[in-house]
């Protein structure tokens, strides 16, 4: 009897000894990490044999959205702690809005959990319209420094430099600190988010995904030579500092890091006439985002994903074609010889000339936002999320 009791004591003790630490993944960035793909665009995945299997991982056979029992998430996208959402992963952890939205977290979490085969926790901190040069500026980058053109403009506008520097200092690094604050809040009380978590099992920070860039790319004040070779070098340096500082501040010196390279608009080689004027700016910025992944000191634990590869060329072509319909509608609105019904008929007939019924269905189903938000396309954003998980897996 005594031997049996000893056996059970040893067996239960072994469970604690050999329990695996909880794998935690951090997702951070600006609006595209938030995610602006409306739930209604999920249907578009089923229209392409390549992405239809992804939909089956998101939707139950009866058409309801899946709630993933072994994937927990805490997500915040406001500067207030009251903006947090947490629970099991499902549709709706994208940007706040009138309808549920999806970001990269959904397919990232599904794919990552499938790889590890055990419960995982996602911590997502993302805020729209935020830059690395100011908002997410890492401590090692030091204070924001005004360039010569900015100094000249301040002088022309009669601004006092000391006051401008002080104003900028108040904004610098605010969202870097908010990001860390929320991550540490979750780490200090994991059971609040993941109720069945056992503290004695511990945890490990298994990966960090950074998906940001738009606000830096379009900032002609901070980067006055946008589009010229090396014009975004300071972004590369700040991202290098960001990776190092995050690892230091989270006490995880080798935490795998994925850079989601801005790719709204798709591959530059496939840009249409209306996009070509942006090719230089977009190309230089993408190079700057890629650069830290090739640094020798980051070899094997920092990689980059070219999100341009998941852009939907058909969808964007349909959007461009639809601009002709909008132009026709604007033109007709000025014609006082036609009543509204007559105008509507002309527009409907013109639309029928430009689109097949299937193309119209794709257009109306697949898009819910602007191009800089990857068209608010669940088809695009879920492929990006999956690619982030694959990139992390490749570094294990």
- Percentage of the chain exceeding pLDDT 90: 88
For the cut 60, the answer to whether the pLDDT of residue 244 exceeds it is: yes
- Percentage of the chain exceeding pLDDT 70: 94
- CATH class of residue range 21-138+173-312+369-394: alpha beta
pLDDT one-digit tens code per residue, 26-41: 999 999 999 999 999 9
Centre a 10 Å sphere on the Cβ of residue 369 and count the other Cβ atoms it contains: 19
pLDDT one-digit tens code per residue, 279-304: 999 999 999 999 999 999 999 999 99
Distance CA 73, CA 76 (A): 10
The pTM score is 0.93
Q: So what's the pLDDT on residue 15?
A: 44
Domain regions of the chain by residue span = 21-138+173-312+369-394
Centre a 10 Å sphere on the Cβ of residue 240 and count the other Cβ atoms it contains: 19
Q: Between the CA atoms of 380, 386, 389 and 391, what dihedral angle is there, to the nearest 10 degrees?
A: -70
Q: So what's the pLDDT on residue 3?
A: 45
């Amino acid at each position: 009897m005594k031997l049996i009791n000893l056996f059970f004591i040893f067996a239960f003790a072994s469970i604690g000894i050999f329990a695996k630490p909880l794998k935690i993944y951090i997702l951070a960035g600006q609006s595209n990490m938030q995610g602006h793909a409306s739930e209604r665009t999920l249907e578009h995945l089923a229209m392409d044999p390549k992405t239809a299997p992804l939909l089956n991982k998101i939707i139950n056979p009866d058409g309801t959205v899946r709630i993933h029992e072994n994937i927990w998430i805490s997500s915040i996208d406001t500067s207030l702690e009251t903006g947090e959402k947490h629970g099991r992963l499902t549709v709706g952890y994208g940007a706040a809005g009138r309808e549920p939205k999806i970001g990269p977290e959904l397919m990232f979490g599904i794919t990552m959990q499938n790889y590890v085969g055990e419960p995982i926790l996602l911590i997502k901190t993302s805020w729209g319209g935020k830059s690395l040069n100011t908002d997410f500026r890492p401590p090692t980058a030091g204070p924001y420094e005004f360039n010569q053109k900015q100094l000249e403009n301040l002088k022309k506008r009669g601004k006092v430099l000391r006051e401008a520097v002080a104003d900028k200092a108040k904004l610098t690094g605010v969202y870097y600190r908010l990001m860390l604050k929320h991550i540490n809040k979750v780490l200090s009380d994991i059971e609040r988010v993941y109720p069945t978590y056992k503290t004695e099992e511990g945890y490990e920070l298994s990966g960090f995904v950074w998906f940001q860039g738009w606000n830096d790319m379009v900032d002609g004040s901070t980067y006055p030579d946008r589009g010229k070779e090396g014009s975004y070098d300071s972004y590369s340096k700040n991202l290098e500092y960001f990776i190092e500082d995050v690892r230091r501040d989270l006490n995880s010196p080798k935490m795998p890091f994925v850079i989601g390279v801005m790719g709204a608009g798709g591959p530059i080689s496939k840009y249409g006439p209306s996009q070509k004027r942006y090719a230089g700016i977009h190309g230089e910025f993408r190079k700057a985002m890629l650069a830290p992944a090739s640094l020798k000191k980051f070899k094997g634990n920092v990689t980059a994903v070219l999100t341009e590869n998941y852009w939907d060329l058909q969808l964007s072509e349909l959007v461009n074609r639809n601009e002709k319909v909008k132009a026709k509608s604007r033109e007709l609105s000025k014609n006082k010889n036609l009543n509204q019904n007559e105008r509507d008929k002309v527009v409907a007939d013109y639309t029928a000339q430009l689109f097949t019924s299937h193309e119209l269905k794709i257009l109306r189903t697949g898009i819910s936002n602007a191009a800089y938000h990857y068209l608010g396309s669940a088809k695009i954003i879920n492929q990006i999320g999956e690619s982030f998980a694959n990139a992390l897996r490749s570094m294990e």
